[in-house]
Structure 1
């Protein structure tokens, strides 16, 4: 580190609605944030076609368009962007160190908004029909499947919740689970089993998504016990097999729960290291909506601004 290297007031790592909202707030507070937005900038919204539940857009907006307007807003107030991935961090002393390859950046404070990624089955056909029948978010996409037959893959509470939720729109929901019992809580399972629109397919896995090139037309399913393969005539497939927070970079550095979500102090965005804040899906495994991510992004910017002021007062 050379003596004259610039120390940023705040570096924001990650660029979904949480990161961009924190950039808008911190740049309006004259903190001149540097956002390292990552090579897959924009987060999960970039793979979402229609967003109809973000307040302020009465006709809906596409995920990428929502990110574009947020990014322009952050840029207008002076946020600078680097579209690369952070490769290493050192938060053991201040200023904090953030590397992109061998280029070192220094910061007085850090906001982490690296998000989470939905887990997929890993089938090539699943990629082909992503957003054309295959989805990992029932609350985002359920309304597009009115009067259709669809499938939900999973066996936890999320799978039960999503199957229940989807019965509002679909005529029939197949709950597809590779074992003969669910890991979900008893109350959630009971509710799902009582719903006349839900049919459970135990010991079953999806091995291929079928389609006509434009959209999904069915799924090939296989019995895990007898190996029997058959086709299920569904036009939608929802994956509820969990999310993985993008926190590998911070293993051993920041406190996280057993699934890898960063732990923040209640009602704040403070992590266990003073001056390092976390916002959005990287620390939220409950709500996981664009609007809640944006909300915690605002909190992180305000937390960081007040924390920096307190440091300078000493």
Structure 2
């Protein structure tokens, strides 16, 4: 491994948050280095660029009235960051040492010391891991109703889950689609009472209790339905639907910082309200790794901007 270089700002993660932070940091002459991520043993299909890399069409990002694919949008983010001199490593960070300064960031082939760190490692959706799910991702299977719901106007869709996120997804979709069927493994919902009431009183939402998806089915054009099993009787039936929204939660990618940076009970990194500062001076977090509420490309980009500006100001205060 090459000799460690002391860098002003190192950004861990890409996506809208990481690349926006890189654009702002580079324009501030901070010469940022980005570890954009890549395949892992746990997820060999993982690619740099975050969740948008597996999103076919993006119609709600400002400035693209005709829409744009997720990979195309992230390619533009990356090129803009590189235009201002950002150095990008398409690899994962394997170790971070925040116990001494400058901080140590060790990648798979490159290692740096850094005065400041911006964490933009994002969050990964939890999936059902059933037959047909991978095949029809972005062709019917989604983990974000706000992102993809508009593609299913006047169609029948399924939502899987029993918590607040599932209630929010079902309620949102009911405003757009023909009918929503909510599938839940138990006979009671885990969601807050007010969220439950909204779903149970909505005439466009039907709840199927004690139910789980066995298989997603479809054709070359996309998903056409799902095989659903009643967990009490073991009977199965085919439900016709063009969309399946998996709303069983997200897992923030925080394994590098366990026991070092403060997290919420849900695992998301804690930041000072109205800021991207973590509990360690000089370490900032942006995007979905610290946002369990909105999880949108535009909000991730906004916090990426915040993190870069805060890092720049912090470095100035330190005389760096």
Q: Same fold (TM over 0.5)?
A: yes
Q: 133, 147, 152: which one pairs with 2:154?
A: 147
Work out the CA distance in 2 between the residues paired with 1:124 and 1:296. Answer: 36
Q: Report deviation, 1:147.
A: 1.4
Conserved 8 A contact 2:5-2:111: no
Aligned counterpart for 1:180 among listed residues 187, 210, 213 = 187
Offset at residue 253 of structure 1 (A): 1.4
Distance in 1, matches of 2:4 and 2:22, equals: 22
Worse-superposed segment, 99-108 or 62-71: 99-108
In 2, Cα distance between the equivalents of 1:103 and 1:14? 15
* 1:310 maps onto 2:317 in alignment: yes
Q: SS where residue 173 of structure 1 aligns?
A: strand
Q: Kindly indicate whether residue 72 of structure 2 is the aligned counterpart of residue 65 of structure 1.
A: yes
Alignment of 1:15-164 (within 5 A): 15-39=14-38, 40-101=47-108, 103-164=110-171
Partner SS, residue 51 of structure 1: coil
Q: How many residues align?
A: 312
Say whether 1:300 aligns with 2:299. no
- Match in the other structure for 2:44: none
The residue matched to 1:295 in structure 2 has which SS? helix
DSSP-derived class of the 1:125 partner: coil
Q: SS state of the match for residue 215, structure 2? A: strand
- Residue 12 of structure 1 is matched in structure 2 by 11
CA RMSD of aligned residues (A): 1.3
Structure 2 regions of 5+ residues with no counterpart?
Answer: 39-46
User: Structure 2: how far apart are the matches of 1:257 and 1:157?
Assistant: 17
What per-residue deviation string (whole Å, max 9, x for no partner) do you get for residues 11-64 of structure 1? 000000000000000000000000010112100010111111111111111111
Cα distance per residue 1:97-135 (max 9 Å; x no partner): 011247431101000000001110012310000000000
TM-score (norm 1): 0.97
* Equivalence for 1:250: 257
Match of residue 276 from structure 2: 269
Cα distance, 1:260 vs. partner? Answer: 1.2
Cα distance between partner residues in 1 of 2:282 and 2:198 = 44
**Superposition deviation, residue 161 in structure 1:** 1.0
Alignment partners' CA distance in 1, 2:11 and 2:111: 14
